[in-house]
Structure 1
Amino acid sequence: MSERLRKKLNILADAAKYDVSCSSSGSDRKNTNKGVGNGHQSGICHTYTEDGRCVSLLKILLTNHCIFDCAYCVSRRSNDIERAAFTVDEVVELTMNFYRRNYIEGLFLSSGIFKNADFTMERLLRVVKKLRLEENYNGYIHLKTIPGASDELITEAGLYADRMSINLEMPTETGLKLLAPEKSHQDVIKPLGFVKNQIIQFKEEKKLIKSVPKFVPAGQSTQMVIGATPETDKEIMYTAANFYKSFSLKRVYYSGYIPISNDSRMPVLGTQPPLLRENRLYQTDWLMRFYGFDVQELLNDANPHLDTDIDPKLSWALRNMHHFPIDINTADYNTILRVPGIGVGSAKKIVQARKFGKLYIHQLKKIGIAYNRAKHFITCADTPYQLKDFQGHQIKGFILAESQSKYLKTPNNQMLLF
């Protein structure tokens, strides 16, 4: 690698680190005609597939030049940073060389916007077309959709990318206008809706004509910056729920704001992003997608913020003690899922195991539930006490006293009770 290309790589890989929406899950693109790579098996950043596999992606920007001046973005127009841009051939060369050396299993390609949306999108398209058609590369590709790009360019890009994403940036239009007055949520909504409709259309055509190509087989995602504007957790998650429903998104990503300027419009934070809040938002997102919770159950006018000292599932349970205790030997699967300390896998095992007889405490522990947490919300064949003997605040105290959460330890190893 030449020194010039190495310098570009250092600049544009560093600039790409702020985009966290680089999951490689969901693709089923297989190797054909003795090509290079296999998107079915993989999905230099590390990310995780839905089945838990860790994969590595070459995560870069095509350029960090940008016509916009978003206050929260390190690549904003007014920021005094070193600029660089890859050529199409350089991105292709890096991807293929890194793949052949087993450094990466796929490509995550985004870009600042230079000149205009179509100019940028056309170059991103040229990269993926060259990889697929000239290099016969069948590995995973996650491509950013450029807001404002033409439908024709987006459609063609979707034929070569496994996943596409476009960042919502701020959770609300008000927050976006505060920090990026040149942008609008409508710029994101339009392409998200277009890609959703194209995915549906291609799937319908595939049922009739086998030769119809796949269009964005791993779906699309978006990302929100958290903490740069004063939205509540309720506003953030209501936006996420709406976008999941409206655009059939695979994922919404939550990126804790990292201070990169002294702009008076943004909060003064420490050097670390709000990781605990970010984690709680992801936990809430998980409950909505896999545990059957409606966002209004978890966050509402009475509870607009997530608890920092306990996870959102436990918080909901403590606010809804009238639903408990449940009998683990008779409750249905969806009810068992709502018990703190019981995950999807454990709930399935419980439903299967009780077909052979009543379940006892020692059996529940072997199944793998977090019994010290779940015991406050369930009864089984040998439960030693009734849940009604304890109030919600008492149960919270018991659980916090037993908690070993790394987030809740002080330097003196004292538990923080909020």
Structure 2
Amino acid sequence: MSERIREKLSILADAAKYDVSCASSGSNRKNNNGGVGDTGNGICHSYTEDGRCVSLLKILLTNFCIYDCKFCVSRKSNDVKRAAFTVEEVVSLTMNFYRRNYIEGLFLSSGIFKNADYTMERMLGIVKKLRLEEKFNGYIHLKTIPGASEALVTEAGLYADRMSINLEMPTEQGLQMVAPEKSHREVEKELNVVRNKSIEYNSERKLIKSVPKFVPAGQSTQMVIGATSENDKEILLTADRFYKDFSLKRVYYSGYIPINNDDKSLLPLIGTPPPVIRENRLYQTDWLMRFYGFSVHELVNDEHPDLDLDVDPKLSWALRNAHLFPVDINCADYKLILRVPGIGVRSAQKIVAARQFGKLHIYQIKKMGIAYNRAQHFIRCADSPFSLKNKNAAEIKQTILQEGQSKWVPKAPAQLSLF
């Protein structure tokens, strides 16, 4: 690797670390043309402690940008060193790193130089060259460019496993405060293109097997949290709407981080940067919405517009709804068991399956992998000595906090070095 390429990689990999929407599961692209790599049913990836995926070659095509978004490290007014890869350089880096087993795929984003279509054409050129010339079958996550033409976005979807476009801020009002040149309408337009094309290609494939796959791992978006003053209710309502309207696989939440030590441009709006634990609570709530059957208004509402940072959102909901507990695990409905703090999807399934053979006791429940120290306050087994009625919500919360079962503060995010 030449010194110039090494310098570019250092600059553009560092600039890409602020984009957290790089999960790589969900694709099933197969190596059936004698090429390089195979995504299988998802790829092998490593994570930082706060859940960020670092197994991909995660870079920007360029950190030159015509926009001046206040929260972005690549904004045109920011005094940073600029660099740009050529199409051939990105292809070469991807193939060389993959063959050395440094990475499992490519996450490619970019600043916008000249205009949206100019940038998107080069990103499309990279994925086409990888797929068609290098016969690369590894994972590719492509960030589309706001305002790019429908034709370019559609063609890119034939080569990428996942596509995403950043919503940036949870509300249009917040976006106009920090990035007046952008709009949610442009983002929605591109998300709509990908959703409609996915439906179209999937319908055709039912009749014609040779129809190519279109974004097989789906699409996602990202919101910066804490750069503007939206509360958690506004953030989650936006996420819920985008899940429903555009069939998103994921919504990512990125806590605002001042990009320079002396960067005070947003502090008049937000006071101080948001705590990292807030980002974690949003992810936990998002998980409850997608896999546990919770609605947004059950978790946040006018009375509780922000998530409790001391305890996870499932426990917070249970404490506010003490009248529903304790749950008798020997006869309660599966959906209600699933809402018990400390019981996950698999554990709830095990409980429902096991109770068919007799009443369940505490020792049996403990063997099913549940967090019993937390769940014991909300369930009744065949031999439970007490029920939730013995303690009020405040006492239960204090007990759990003292046990250290629910308060987990992740370390500051860090991206692993490629060298």
- Aligned partner of 2:146 in structure 1 is 147
Cα distance in 1 between the residues matched to 2:33 and 2:155: 22
1:138 deviates by: 0.3
Secondary structure of 2:140's counterpart equals: strand
Contact 1:66 1:77 in 2 (8 A): yes
- Aligned partner of 2:247 in structure 1 is 248
Contact 1:327 1:379 in 2 (8 A): yes
1:183 and 2:185 correspond: no
Secondary structure of 2:367's counterpart equals: helix
Cα distance in 2 between the residues matched to 1:4 and 1:308: 45
Q: Normalising to structure 1: TM-score of the pair?
A: 0.93
Q: Deviations over 1:108-167 (max 9, x none)?
A: 000000011100000000000000000000000000011111110001000000000000
- Aligned partner of 1:10 in structure 2 is 10
1:198 and 2:197 correspond: yes
1:345 deviates by: 1.2
**Cα gap change, 1:44/1:115 in structure 2, threshold over 3 Å: closer, same or farther?**
farther
Q: Deviations over 1:31-68 (max 9, x none)?
A: 112110112255398459xxx99771000000000000
Contact 1:309 1:408 in 2 (8 A): no
Contact 1:44 1:57 in 2 (8 A): no
Cα distance in 1 between the residues matched to 2:285 and 2:322: 19
**Cα gap change, 1:359/1:250 in structure 2, threshold over 3 Å: closer, same or farther?**
same
Letter in 2 for 1:236: I
**Cα gap change, 1:233/1:7 in structure 2, threshold over 3 Å: closer, same or farther?**
same
Secondary structure of 1:35's counterpart equals: coil
C-alpha RMSD over aligned residues: 1.9
Letter in 1 for 2:307: L
1:322 deviates by: 1.2
Of 203-212 and 53-62, the range deviating more from structure 2: 53-62
Cα distance in 1 between the residues matched to 2:326 and 2:304: 23
- Aligned partner of 1:24 in structure 2 is 24
- Aligned partner of 1:72 in structure 2 is 71
Q: How does 1:276-287 map onto structure 2 within 5 Å?
A: 276-287=277-288
1:269 and 2:272 correspond: yes
Q: Deviations over 1:389-416 (max 9, x none)?
A: 221112112212212556479xxxxxxx
* Count of residue correspondences: 404
- Aligned partner of 2:235 in structure 1 is 236
Cα distance in 2 between the residues matched to 1:313 and 1:402: 17
1:318 and 2:296 correspond: no
- Aligned partner of 1:156 in structure 2 is 155
Gaps of at least 5 residues in structure 2 are 411-419
Cα distance in 2 between the residues matched to 1:373 and 1:350: 16
Contact 1:23 1:43 in 2 (8 A): no
1:215 and 2:217 correspond: no
1:372 deviates by: 1.4
Contact 1:44 1:59 in 2 (8 A): no
Letter in 2 for 1:269: T
Query: Share of identical aligned residues, percent?
Result: 72
Secondary structure of 2:59's counterpart equals: strand
Secondary structure of 2:118's counterpart equals: helix
- Aligned partner of 1:415 in structure 2 is none
Cα distance in 2 between the residues matched to 1:201 and 1:47: 34
1:269 deviates by: 3.4
Contact 2:310 2:407 in 1 (8 A): no
1:75 deviates by: 0.1
- Aligned partner of 2:306 in structure 1 is 305
Letter in 1 for 2:339: R
- Aligned partner of 2:62 in structure 1 is 63
Letter in 2 for 1:177: Q
- Aligned partner of 1:374 in structure 2 is 375
Tell me: higher relative CO, structure 1 or 2? Use CA pairs within 8 A at least 6 residues apart. 2
Contact 1:117 1:149 in 2 (8 A): yes
Q: Deviations over 1:350-385 (max 9, x none)?
A: 111111111000000011111111111111110101
